[in-house]
Structure 1
Amino acid sequence: MQKIELKLTKIDLRNLNELIEISRITYKDSFSNDNTPENMESYLSTSFNKNKLKKELMDNNSEFYFSKFKDETSGYLKVNLGDSQTDIKDGNGMELERIYVLEKFQGKKIGQFLINRAIRIAEKRNVEYIWLGVWEKNSKAIAFYKKNGFKIVGTHLFKMGNDIQTDYIMKRKI
């Protein structure tokens, strides 16, 4: 059996346009069926615009990585440390803020590859735990995170356009 080549590459400002594109595509593919077009467009234009993503890329406490499947970008992950974490601003923790995989690459274990890399980053950073927020209605993602040792420890509110939604906060010890 031939091994599929998967690798991780760090994203920097040279990749800004590709990051914007993949962010918008993956988010829309994942959540547009459960949200109004107006709320989706509001969120995409606010969260994945050039200025916002450029600022996030320049943040020393945030790191972005593309997953490459046969040298083609298949998804990405974003982790935050310290004060760049969105909710739990604990120096002993690391946030996995985004883990997105393009639809055409789903089912190829890329999500597992990305979460394994995030855990490895957390180990290298010597943090005690990794945490994330996941929409309470995203049962597929919740099951995936539980399979990887994450447990629901709380909730927080998430604004999608003018819709206030509830995310579970999930945590995993390192």
Structure 2
Amino acid sequence: MSSLLVEVVAFTHECATPSGQFLSASLPTFIRYRVLVTVNPNVSVSTATDANLAEAIANVAAITFPLACPPHSPPDAIADFIANQLSPNNFRGYITRDNAEVLVAQQDSQIIGYCLVLHRDPPDPDVAAVVTARPVSEISKMYVLPDHHGAGASHALMTRAIDTARARKSAIVWLGVNQENLRAQRFYAKMGFGVAGTKTFNLGATIEHDYVMTRLLD
């Protein structure tokens, strides 16, 4: 593995510094900083075009989704979400949809992470109110197996996701992240995302609170 120094510029109303501290500003703010990212030459990222990969992707999703949930999340609600939203059938549908792309990170021919990118206007009114540029892409899901955290797979997936959005001529990319998931927030900030607003996410009967984070594309 090797390291790469990257300069990040973000445009935000509320931003996370590389140390994880959140700063608020009454006016939109540009931030610029440099971060050292890990590059693993053994990790490859590609777009899944074979629906037969859906089973393996769903297995990764079932392992990783609970790790991103807040500690208070009911286990039965997590299990229901996995069964209803992260099933092999769901991923087969995403792989064949024109406005969706499933990216897979592989190491030694094994899928170790995935990212779902949706090219569509935000269906949530709270998101649409703060993500106004068009066209727009959503990073709907991005997870890496815990044994591979810190090895460059997340950076490779995010880089490919942003390239995918650019290829679709999107002006902006957005994602939602739980307000308690500080680790993910720090990573997204390092990748150039800033907090633009908030939204809610229903996990069973529990209402979770997310930040809406955005990154403008060149």
Higher Cα radius of gyration: 2
The ranges of structure 1 where at least 4 consecutive aligned residues each deviate by more than 6 angstroms after the TM superposition are: none
Residue in structure 2 matched with residue 131 of structure 1 by the alignment = 174
How many angstroms does 1:107 deviate by?
1.3
Larger mean Cα displacement after TM superposition, 109-118 or 28-37 = 28-37
> Does 1:49 pair with 2:84?
no
How many angstroms does 1:41 deviate by?
1.2
Larger mean Cα displacement after TM superposition, 1-10 or 127-136 = 1-10
Scaled by the length of structure 2, what TM-score is found? 0.72
Indicate conservation of the 8 Å contact 2:43/2:152, yes or no. Answer: no
From 167, 171, 174, the counterpart of 2:214? 171
Larger mean Cα displacement after TM superposition, 37-46 or 73-82 = 37-46
Q: In the aligned structure 1, how far is the partner of 2:106 from the partner of 2:63?
A: 16
> Does 1:107 pair with 2:150?
yes
Consecutive unaligned residues of structure 2, counting only runs of 5 or more, are 3-39
Q: What residue identity is the alignment partner of 2:206?
A: D
From 77, 88, 93, the counterpart of 1:39? 77
Identity between Structure 1 and Structure 2 (%): 25
Scaled by the length of structure 1, what TM-score is found? 0.89
Which has more strand, going by share of residues? 2
Distance 1:57 1:86, change over 3 A: farther
Consecutive unaligned residues of structure 1, counting only runs of 5 or more, are none
Distance 1:60 1:91, change over 3 A: farther
Mapping of residues 1-174 of structure 1, within 5 Å: 4-11=41-48, 12-31=50-69, 33-83=71-121, 85-87=122-124, 91-174=134-217
Indicate conservation of the 8 Å contact 1:82/1:91, yes or no. Answer: no
How many angstroms does 1:146 deviate by?
1.1
Distance 1:108 1:147, change over 3 A: same
How many angstroms does 1:36 deviate by?
1.7
Number of aligned residue pairs = 173
How many angstroms does 1:86 deviate by?
4.5
After superposition, the CA RMSD in angstroms is 2.1
Q: In the aligned structure 2, how far is the partner of 1:24 from the partner of 1:103?
A: 12
Q: What residue identity is the alignment partner of 2:214?
A: K
- What SS class does the counterpart of residue 157 from structure 1 fall into? strand
Which structure would you say has the larger RCO, counting Cα contacts within 8 Å and 6 or more residues apart?
2
Distance 1:17 1:7, change over 3 A: same
Q: What residue identity is the alignment partner of 2:42?
A: E
Which has more helix, going by share of residues? 1
